[in-house]
Every structure is written in structure tokens, then in C-alpha cells.
Amino acid sequence: MNTPAPDPVPTEKRPVGERAGEMAKKGVRQAAIWAGIAVLAVIVYFIAAAFIPRWWANTVGRWVGKSIATGTGLGLAFGIICTTVPLLLLYFAVRRIRSSPRLAAGAGVLAVLVSVPNLLTASVAMGISGAARAGRDVMNVDAPMFRGATMWGAIIGLALALAIPVALKIYGKRRAERKLQKAADKAAVKQAKAEAKEAAKAEKAAAKGERRTSDGPDGTAE
């Protein structure tokens, strides 16, 4: 016995004005959230601009200890490492953003963290706030050559970050070509051995046939 199919439950259609009102409220909430984030970012920026440059300059000054050699070496190290590594991480993140978004996001966050020392030095070198000017004065005395060495290290790091992927790509291409050539040589050697073996078999069969012919049909030599 077939049971009748239940009647579809009628869906209540809300008026267009009600849906538009909800969308407007949602838009207002989102705008308020973004406005709050923007205000918070501005507050954080001004607090950081008033504190971080001077703090970073004093920290670097304690590390360098008024030594030109130390300032040069430390600046080059920060400039190279904190430029090369973040750019390579960003390159990796861009290549993995579709296949592995979480891994790409992690690489992006790590790139920002590694670049922080260079960003702090840039805030001292190019900042216009009073804290930045005070930080430059501190670095001029306590960390000589650090800012200039960091700039040159960043240039070297940029060149390395551009050269390393190209070099790896060329190396990978040549390695693949060597593998293909090695496989082709191996196949050629195998083919040559097979041909030599077949030729030896054919020569052996021909020699055996000649002996039979020379012996005659009754097995006696002619």
C-alpha cells in the first residue's frame, strides 16, 4: 500500500524591507568593527612610535657598545638575515597558498616576525617622531655604523633572496636533465648488451650450421 507523500512545508517569505533592514544592520555592525580596529591600530601606532624607536636604539647600543666593528658586523648580519629569510618565506607562502593555505599563512606570519629587527631599525632611521630622532642620536653614539651596515645588509639580502630561487630552479633543472641522461645512458648500455648477446647467439648458430654443412648429410666430412 502506497502512502501518500507528505505535503511540502510552505516556507515563509520575509518581506523585502525586512531583509534589507537586516543587511543594513549587519553592514553597520561590520563597519563599526572595522572602525574600532582602525582606531585601535592608530592608538597602538602612536604608542609604539613614542616608545619603540628609543627602546630599540638603546637595546642595539648595549649590544654594540660604541664599537664600529661590532656595529658593522651586527648591522650586516641583521640586514642580510632579516631580509633574505622573510623574502624566501614569502616566496614559499605564495607558492603554497593554494595547495596548503595554513602552511602558507604560517610562513607569512614567520616572515613578518623575522623581519621585525629591520623594521625597528627602519623606524629609527626614517621616523619623524621625537622618539625616532632620539633613537638616531643614541645610535650615532652607542651603535656607530649599525644603521648603514643594516641598509647594505638589506640590499645584499634582497639580492640573495632573488638569486637563491633562480639558482635552485636552475640546479633542479640540471639535476633532472642529468637523471634523464643517466637513464638514457643506462638504457643504451642495456640495449647494446642485448644486441651483443643476440649477435653472439646468431654467430654461434651460424657457425653451428656451417659445421653441419661441412660434415655432410650422413655426418662424415666431405
Q: Are 107 and 101 in contact (CB under 8 A)?
A: no
Rounded distance between C-alpha atoms, residue 215 and residue 218, angstroms: 8
Lowest mean pLDDT among 27-41, 63-77, 152-166: 27-41
For residue 121, count CB atoms less than 10 angstroms from its CB and return exposed for 0-12, middle for 13-18, buried for 19 or more: buried
Task: Give the chain's end-to-end CA distance (angstroms, integer).
Answer: 102
pLDDT at 128: 84
pLDDT 10s digits, 170-190:
988 888 888 888 888 888 888
Sign of CA dihedral 212, 217, 219, 220: negative
Percent helix / strand / coil, the chain, rounded to 5: 85, 0, 15
Task: Kindly state the percentage of the chain with pLDDT values over 70.
Answer: 84
pTM for this structure?
Answer: 0.64
Q: What is the pLDDT of residues 93-105, one digit of tens each?
A: 988 888 888 898 8
Residue found under cell 650422413: 218
Q: What is the pLDDT of residues 66-123, one digit of tens each?
A: 999 999 999 999 999 999 999 999 999 988 888 888 898 899 999 999 999 999 999 8
Query: CA-to-CA distance for 192 and 87, rounded, in angstroms?
Result: 50
Which residues lie below 8 Å from residue 153, measured CB to CB, with a gap of 6+? 75, 76, 77, 78, 79, 80, 81, 83
- CA dist., res. 55 & res. 129, Å (int): 14
